Structure 1
Amino acid sequence: MVTVFRLCFLTLLFFSPVAFSELCNPEDKKVLLQIKKDFKNPYLLASWNPDTDCCQWYCVECHPQTHRITSLLISSSVPDTNLSGPIPPSVGHLPYLETLRFHKLPKLTGPIQPTIANLTKLKELYISWTNISGPVPHSLAQLINLQFLDLSFNNLSGPIPSSLSQLPNLLSLRLDRNKLTGPIPDSFGSFKRSGPSLLLSHNQLSGPIPASLAHIDPQRIDFSRNKLEGDASMLFGRNKTTQMVDVSRNLLAFDLSTVEFPTSLISLDLNHNNITGKIPVGLTAVGFLQGFNVSYNRLCGEIPQGGRLQKFDVDAYFHNKCLCGSPLPNCN
């Protein structure tokens, strides 16, 4: 009898209206259905059925208590996905969104949608591996809660907005693999905290690296494969905690001899520049150096003995003016 009662209770519960009550906020659901419509109902969003709870839809995450949509994560591992066209304006009408991602969507085109600047709770914005184009909007500086901004592997062009330095909580800025031009903004030296990791490689950036970057201490710097000129020594310093620096394949020209490197360095790549001077003895104190390359420069003198500098092969040193000593041939 008890077993029958339990079965009946479970049956009633299963078929009760409470079991089918929708958690998703109706306004959020309306916005999502508009996004789907604007994208011309792609197969990728097939689970977005108006008769079901949108908190259960693919690419969507809701807050466990408020049930407002906090994440919209639209990505595809299929190269020929049929999601195409520009980012819809309706994306900017999800007021509780904390994470927005458009990733590996080669048919996503047009500019970065201006209404994204309305998402004031946004902490993470990823628009990567798409075909969006146009400038990086100045209005992104309005997203003061943003911690991660990734606009890599797109067709963005024009200058980097100096206003991005106004983002007080930014931990990582990725603008690599685009068609950006002009200088690195001098304002980037005024980032709060230690400054975000700066990944700006594979663009067409030019001019000098701002001296103001001496005031920040990013975990990672990648300015490689641009047209940057002059000094890069401000990126280093004995008191910094930077772990990775790559400024390879630029037009940099400065004396390496007097540069003081942080002992926190794990990877240093200076290859294919016009750097002169000697390799500083201080680099032998960098005990965790795993990657190192100073090839294709104009360095001279004996490679300092000690530390990890002899752990790297000839390729890390060759094509310099008169560099010598292990692992290169002995100095005369």
Structure 2
Amino acid sequence: MKTSPLSIFALSLFLCLSLPSPCISTRCNANDREVLLQIKQSLNNPTHLAAWKPNTDCCDWNDVMCDTTTNRITTLQFGSANISGQFPAAVGDLPYLESLVLENLTSLTGYIPSTLAKLSHLRYFSVTKNSLSGPIPPVLSKLKNLLYINLSFNRLSGPIPSSLSQLTKLSQMYLDHNRLTGRIPDSFGTFTVPDLDLSHNLLSGPLPKSMGKMNYTTLDFSHNMLEGDVSVLFGKNKTVQEVFLSNNKLSFDISKVEFPANVTSLDLSHNRITGTLPASLASLQYLFQLNVSYNGLCGQIPTGGRLQRFQSSAYLPNRCLCGAPLPACK
């Protein structure tokens, strides 16, 4: 007796649904799927990942992306989700990962695992606004393709690894709002990160003089315990646009400092800076944010530029600074 096509389809469908593994063609790499299931388990099987099921194509799962050619997982991204547990070490077993984002997960704890050193393709790494602790692992310096790293707003402690200077492709590095201690590594004067934020930590000591040889776009070292002269960061031919150095113990004579023409934001408040404000400040055509309050400055505020557009709070208190917008010099 000849079997009809409909009967064959019905039998195939029955067998497919009864087998533990799917019969349908899937894009997902089997090893990647297994690693993702391990990650899900280590995060206590959150409801946010309820769709991560063994018998489905992991390239269709939420919070992941596959390369359309290789079908390997290239993106893993959790943001503002109800996820708890420790940073899953199994992430290091996704060898083609290019973007790893774990953000706004206040119940994500533990250390940044050293297994991340295996992610040789990683370009974008952000774990901001979590509850991670422990040191910054020096093995991150093995991620030679990193363009962006954000470890801010955690509870990371200990020194900044000097080996991070080996990440020569970086365009942005944010280590702010942690509990990092010690000095800014001397090695940071051997590479340029255009946007560098080390603010709101417990860093101390002087700035490496070698950093004066580098060019930046944005620097934020505010709210630390840094000391000494940072005037090496400035100069007529520098590219820096935004500089935030407030709430440190910096002490230098600002009188002879020449600020780059493209500076837009400058906050030197709450330090121990002395001298008179240089005339070069008045020539900054793009300056829209300025604060030199709570220092030991003296003399007349230069005129002829934008400095009179700022409120008096940008200049007070200082030892004997005068002239508009402050009272006239005597």
Match of residue 28, structure 1, among 20, 28, 32: 32
Q: AA paired with 1:236?
A: F
Alignment correspondent of 2:257: 259
Indicate which of 26, 47, 71 corresponds to 1:67.
71
- Cα distance, 1:20 vs. partner? 5.0
- 1 CA distance for matches of 2:188 and 2:195? 11
State yes or no: 1:234 paired with 2:238.
Answer: no
Residue matched to 2:322: 324
Letter in 2 for 1:60: V
Name the SS of the counterpart of 1:125 in structure 2: strand
State the match for 2:171 in structure 1.
171
Matched length: 310
Which position in structure 2 is the counterpart of 1:7? none
**Distance across 1 between alignment mates of 2:50 and 2:168:** 38
Equivalent residue, structure 2, for 1:9: none
1:220 matches 2:224: no
Q: How does 1:289-308 map to 2 (within 5 A)?
A: 289-308=287-306
Structure 2 match to 1:152 = 152
CA distance in 1, matches of 2:101, 2:171: 17
**What SS does structure 1 have at the residue aligned with 2:128?**
strand
Runs of 4+ in 1 over 4 A off after TM superposition: none
C-alpha contact (below 8 Å) 2:243/2:265 kept by paired residues: yes
SS of the equivalent of 2:39 reads helix
Deviation at 1:180, TM superposition (A): 0.5
Matches of 2:237 and 2:193, distance apart in 1: 15
How far apart in 2 are the matches of 1:327 and 1:89? 56
User: 2: distance between equivalents of 1:327 and 1:68?
Assistant: 61
What is the Cα deviation at residue 195 of structure 1?
A: 2.8
Aligned mates of 2:68, 2:235 — CA distance in 1: 45
Task: Give the TM-score normalised by the residue count of structure 1.
Answer: 0.91
Larger radius of gyration: 2
Q: Deviations over 1:68-89 (max 9, x none)?
A: 111100121x5xx2x2221122
1:169 Cα deviation after fit? 0.2
1:233-254 deviations in whole A, cap 9, x for unaligned?
0111111111110000001110
Give secondary structure in 2 for the equivalent of 1:164.
Answer: helix
The amino acid that maps onto 1:176 is D
Per mean C-alpha deviation after superposition, the further-off stretch among 83-92 and 261-270 is 83-92
Task: For residues 177-211 of structure 1, give each alpha carbon's deviation from its aligned partner in whole angstroms, at most 9, with x where no partner exists.
Answer: 000000011110101xx433110111100001111
Contact 2:173 2:193 (8 Å CA) reproduced: no
Superposition TM-score, scaled by structure 2 size: 0.91
Which residue matches 1:87? Answer: 87
Structure 2 residue aligned with 1:140:
140
Q: Which runs of 5+ in 1 are unaligned?
A: 1-14
Q: Give the structure 1 partner of residue 19 of structure 2.
A: none
Aligned partners of 2:229, 2:180: CA distance in 1, in Å? 21
Shift of 1:260: 1.1
Query: Aligned partners of 2:278 and 2:66: how far apart in 1?
Result: 53
Q: Identity across aligned pairs (percent)?
A: 53
* Aligned residue in 1 for 2:310: 312
